[in-house]
Amino acid sequence: MQKLNRKKLVSLMAALFVAVLGAGSLSSCSKLLGWGVLLWNVENPRIPSGTLVPVYIKSNIDAVYVIGIPKEYQVKPEKKTDPIIDKKEVPLWQIQYFSSKSKAQAFAQQFADYASLYAETLQDGLPVRSEPDNGARRVYRLRQGQVVKILAKAQGNPAMSGNKPLPGDWLQVLTDDGTTGYCFSYRLRIFEIEAGKSVAVAQANMANPSNDPELESVLSKTWSPDWYKDMVDSQTIDLDTFTDQWGFFPNPDTGLIRIVLPGYERSYTYTSITKVDAKSWRFEGTPLTITLRNETLLAVQYEVNGGTQKTSLFVSLPTPVSDVITQEQERRQKLYESILSQGSVFQSENYGRLSLATDGRFTWEGFDLLVPRVIPPTASGSGTIAMRLFVRESIRTTYDGACTFYFNPQGVDGQTSPVEPGKAIAVNFLYKAEPQGLRLEYLPPASLSGTMVLQRSPSPIILYFPALEQ
């Protein structure tokens, strides 16, 4: 029994010795782990960002480093008998850690220009991106008035307002909870914190709204004028009124919103977004309110003519506008090539000589019999052909399609003059690419509604051009 107690006593003393030894090593923190550079000012005591510090312990459980406080920032104790506090716990995200002092010193030197720079968010919901690009994944949503630490300037695609780049730079930033990413500076107020001063975190002017997935979805989509959907659904794309330059363009990275429609363009800067009801939001600092009518239809209410309320509808298309435009251009090119497959020069005894180039240009000589009933007397003998028209199925039994001849106008001396935008003379024809020939039928304006050919003329003027052998 005594032997057993003696064994227990020895084991207990050994365990106690190990525990005391371990506690002593933790409290002294004398063994150096590595070196670090402060990314964000530390309080109590105040140690400025950019300071080189020794690192003694890393705790993944508590998510902290134990660092050594440089002597110049150590607080003298009130009593001489009190110990000097020379170590401090700092969150992991506030330290850029290195295993060697030389690497830490090199980083500190590189970081010196940005060490004292911070920024305040001027817009609620300003995103922090994974890369310096508006299209990159959002990793954080900033509150209005939130302060971030600037780590570096980054090279990236500029934020745009229409076709113009906005003033500012992409900055690598660190949030006050340790998230890093990239933010465009247009909606940031950059300021400097002097060594030894604290960072006064500005509070937002409004309660931080919880993340709104539906709003995030709205802001991430491309919104085009509602008539685009009709064109896409009917596969009748009019490239004169179908462009990626028109639409409703919110930009969370800059706090800018643009509305661009035919004859109207306006930009707004908003400070925050307030939810009005389940499907409506108001952009504070602007007269804009948006309502999501369904997943792909957005109503935008704004002011025109000094206060008149106007509502425009915008749609989110399943295919990017630029892709639809490319597809339509390819469709038109194939139709034009079907004509060229019969020849590039066509000669008619009555209606002259028609020469076609692969890029859509034409020259037409000897069309006097068609003036002025078909071709206006002010038209020259050259121009371009556009396969922009669409025909009803009932007409397709007779013709392949329809096209527009854009004639350059004559100059004062009868020669071709430079064509100003919108000044070309348009003449429309049905066409049929026949073996070794081309048949055209004149389309008077009454036969069309927009780009759709509704009917043939009751008194058709038909032109036949045999192809010349090349």
Q: Is the predicted pLDDT of residue 458 greater than 80, yes or no?
A: yes
Q: Is the predicted pLDDT of residue 410 greater than 80, yes or no?
A: yes
- Which whole-number Å values give the CA distances from 134 to 84, 160, 373, 402, in the listed order? 49, 9, 54, 41
Full-model pTM? 0.64
Same domain, 260 and 346: no
- For residue 319, the 8-state DSSP code is S
Q: Average model confidence (pLDDT) for the chain?
A: 86
Domain range for residue 17? 1-25
CA dist 1 and 444 (Å) reads 121
In a domain, 105, yes or no: no
Q: Which of 121, 283, 269, 280 is nearest to 205 (CA)?
A: 121
Same domain, 344 and 418: yes
Q: Which two tokens stand for residue 408?
A: 């350059």
In a domain, 328, yes or no: yes
The alpha carbon dihedral of 140, 145, 148, 153 has a sign of: positive
DSSP string, 188-224: EEEEE--TT----PPPPSS--PPP-HHHHHHHHS-BE
Same domain, 137 and 151: yes
Per-residue pLDDT, 125: 86
Per the structure, the count of domains in the chain is: 5
Looking at 283, 298, 318, the residue that finishes a domain is 318
Same domain, 82 and 124: no
Same domain, 80 and 167: no
Same domain, 85 and 168: no
Contacts 24+ apart (CB under 8 A), 231-239: 232/317, 232/319, 232/324, 236/390, 236/451, 236/452, 237/324, 237/325, 237/327, 237/328, 238/388, 238/450, 238/451, 239/325, 239/328, 239/329, 239/388
In a domain, 202, yes or no: no
Contacts of 299 (CB under 8 A, 6+ apart): 290, 291, 292, 293, 311, 312, 313, 314
CATH number at residue 128: 2.30.30.40
Same domain, 337 and 313: no
- For residue 72, the 8-state DSSP code is G
Same domain, 366 and 455: yes
Asked whether 406 and 422 are in contact (CB, 8 A), the reply is no
Same domain, 388 and 336: yes
Same domain, 339 and 443: yes
- Which whole-number Å values give the CA distances from 174 to 118, 146, 179, 344, in the listed order? 9, 11, 6, 64
What digits encode the pLDDT tens for the residues 351-383?
999 999 999 999 999 999 999 999 999 999 999
In a domain, 245, yes or no: yes
- Which whole-number Å values give the CA distances from 234 to 70, 243, 282, in the listed order? 73, 17, 34
Query: Given pLDDT bands bounded at 50, 70 and 90, which one contains residue 194?
Result: low
Same domain, 338 and 386: yes
Edge-first strand listing for the sheet containing 52-59? 87-91, 64-68, 52-59, 34-38, 95-98
Asked whether 162 and 4 are in contact (CB, 8 A), the reply is no
3-state secondary structure of 93: helix
Q: Is the predicted pLDDT of residue 11 greater than 50, yes or no?
A: no
Same domain, 278 and 388: no
Q: Is the predicted pLDDT of residue 202 greater than 70, yes or no?
A: no
In a domain, 424, yes or no: yes
In a domain, 266, yes or no: yes
Per-residue pLDDT, 104: 95
What digits encode the pLDDT tens for the residues 104-161?
999 999 999 999 999 999 888 899 999 999 889 999 999 888 999 999 999 998 887 7
CA dist 314 and 82 (Å) reads 71
Q: Please identify which residue in the block is written with the tokens 């392949």.
A: 400
